[in-house]
Amino acid sequence: MGLLDYFRGPGGARKGSASVAKERLQILVAHDRAARDRPSYLPRLQQEILAVIRKYVEVDNDAVSVHYEQEDKYEILELNIVLPDADARS
């Protein structure tokens, strides 16, 4: 610590790049961990469900979303399918 740091005061220390590093890491690691625990079949499942729906309804590529969550004792597989507006359907 140099002479100038004494005038900047203790608040200055927390503003260092380390706090940015920590924030970025927390987000990144949470994201990595979520991806790690997800079953590897999810992307394929999403594609196949989309293909089945498309046999009957014309929907966008991003109309099917799959969310996976894990709690202590159970897992939640959430499927969300956005159908087009009624007047767009034939």
Partner 1 sequence: MARTIVITSGKGGVGKTTTSAAMAMGLAQRGHRTVVIDFDVGLRNLDLIMGCERRVVYDFANVINGEANLNQALIRDKRCEHLFILPASQTRDKDALTQEGVGQVLEELRKTHDYIVCDSPAGIEHGALMAMYFADDAVVVTNPEVSSVRDSDRMLGILSSKSRRALENEEPIREFLLLSRYSPERVASGEMLGVEDVQEILALNLLSVIPESKAVLNASNAGTPVILDVESDAGQAYSDMVARYLGEERPMRFLEMERKGLFSRLFRG
What is the Cα–Cα distance from 56 to 72, expressed in whole angstroms?
37
Least Å distance, CB 16 to partner 1, is 2
What is the Cα–Cα distance from 37 to 34, expressed in whole angstroms?
5
Least Å distance, CB 15 to partner 1, is 7
Going by C-beta distance under 8 Å and a sequence separation of 6 or more, which residues neighbour residue 49? 64, 66, 79, 81
Contacting positions for partner 1 (CB under 8 A): 1-3, 5, 12-19, 21-22, 24-26, 28-29, 32-33, 36
Nearest to partner 1 of 15, 67 (CB atom): 15
Least Å distance, CB 62 to partner 1, is 28
